[in-house]
Amino acid sequence: MKEPAGGRQLEFFQRDREGNLRDRKNFEFGDPAFSSNKKLPIHRWVPWVAGFSQSFVQSGLERHLSDRGTVLDPFAGVGTTLLEANLAGHDALGFEINPYAAFASRTKLLAYKANPDEVRRATKEFLEFQASALQKGIEPKTSAPAGFRTRGVFYSPKVMKKVLLVRDFITRVKNKRIADLFQISFASTMITYSNYSYEPSLGRKSSVGRPDVEDFAVAREIARKLDEMTSDIVWARRILADYRPRPSGKVINQSFFDSYRTIQSGSIDLLITSPPYLNNYHYNRNTRPHLYWLNFVKSPEDMHALEHQNFGKFWQTVRELKKVELNPLIKNREIIKTISTLRKKNPDRAIYGGNGWANYAATYFNDCLRFVKGARWALRRRGTALVVIGNSILQGVPIPTDRFLGAIAESVGLELIDIHIPRATRVGNSIIQSDVRVSKAGKKQKLYEAVVELRKR
């Protein structure tokens, strides 16, 4: 019998972390929805709308890796795949264009190296610093990021002072690993005490009938988060201590499209990922506060660069182009016909009509081609890719992105093993029901979430 990853007994892979037996013979994928991560150690550190669940990644690892291997996530987000791979004893590699998400992934992966006692001492010093500064009326030395602009007041004057004092303290922390934990604790809570919220896109609380935040116990909230993080670090250190050598984790803050050839061809055992859906959800724009306040970007020009690196771009970036053609290597008739049908919709509505959305869809599937080429390069022979993807409805035209991705993957020599549907219904983005964007989805048109299972021949 082969020994599983990290030298653990096979029983570890047949039981979940609560000790319940899992039947590998009657295997089913876990629900990909990210919401279940909110209470799980380390995963709960960073809220992320566009993520997927720990249970899904865990089920994929259990199904496809019995020995220690290397796991790749080309669109790593905040590191769910990478962290779960490490906790199961596998080496992990991720690519992520969003510098805040890449930072969050890296911090979570390396958190076990932090000394919990030092984190507790720093948290205590932080609370004392904040209380003393407020009591003495000390003015912050740092300032709000100059390039960050919002339509409404992001922080009230009272909250702003407390937030700037947080930044003052972080600049004093000499231990970079602990400073990074403070940055994550601030970033993960910063929307809570702002006048904005996610509904699911970032917008003013007042726009959805919620009151502005006049004052808030900012330091207490950040300290609460740090206490939670410290207990999670203890938990992770206990799990990872069993592995010799410890699994490696690396996050590259670059586009997978531009950088996949920097990794050795055929070096990846399992790829688990979820690229952006064809729903125009602007996750770079929705992390603007984090990107600016953590000094990853300084101007709108920096944000524009991220937009142009994004998988599929965005409707706003391609809608005014005359015509974006499908890559000639995409020969699937259904894809070609769907784009053509979409392009003919509502020509009288200019950029809001079908041509702009056809440009968006064509760009998206061109990037699907780039993605599967990279996957084929990276995977070892008989290696597997599990790709979580949601379908879409544009201008009333149903777009089965799962089947289209499978067809494009087959065109580059990957084998389409199956398309699983773990979520037959999902809540959709307003993209499919917008009067501004014309042609609402019909009542019978439903959104679902699929797992496209591919294999390198």
- Say yes or no: 148 and 197 in one domain: yes
In the chain, which residues have pLDDT < 70?
A: 1-36, 50-51, 427-444
What is the predicted pLDDT for the residue at 8?
31
| Amino acid found at 359 | N
Question: 51 and 77 in contact (C-beta within 8 Å)?
Answer: yes
- Say yes or no: 207 and 333 in one domain: no
What is the predicted pLDDT for the residue at 26?
37
What is the residue range of 234's domain? 113-238
Question: 1 and 10 in contact (C-beta within 8 Å)?
Answer: yes
Final residue before a domain boundary, out of 238, 271, 299 = 238
Do the domain assignments include residue 243? no
What is the predicted pLDDT for the residue at 134?
97
Coil, strand or helix at 24:
coil
Q: What is the CATH number of the domain that holds 76?
A: 3.40.50.150
**β-strands 196-198, 202-204 pairing:** antiparallel
What is the predicted pLDDT for the residue at 35?
58
Do the domain assignments include residue 121? yes
What is the predicted pLDDT for the residue at 428?
53
Do the domain assignments include residue 101? no
Final residue before a domain boundary, out of 208, 238, 268 = 238
Structural domains in the chain (count): 2
What is the predicted pLDDT for the residue at 121?
98
- Say yes or no: 130 and 86 in one domain: no
What is the predicted pLDDT for the residue at 16?
38
Coil, strand or helix at 421:
strand
Sequence-distant (≥ 6) Cβ neighbours of residue 15 within 8 angstroms: 21, 22
Cα–Cα dist 363/318, whole Å: 8
What is the predicted pLDDT for the residue at 39?
82
Sequence-distant (≥ 6) Cβ neighbours of residue 23 within 8 angstroms: none
Q: What angle is formed at CA 303 by the lines to CA 301 and CA 309, rounded to 5 degrees?
A: 110
Strand blocks (E) in 207-275: 249-252, 268-273
Q: What angle is formed at CA 76 by the lines to CA 230 and CA 116, rounded to 5 degrees?
A: 10
Specify the length of the chain in residues: 457
Cα–Cα dist 452/457, whole Å: 16
What is the predicted pLDDT for the residue at 281?
82
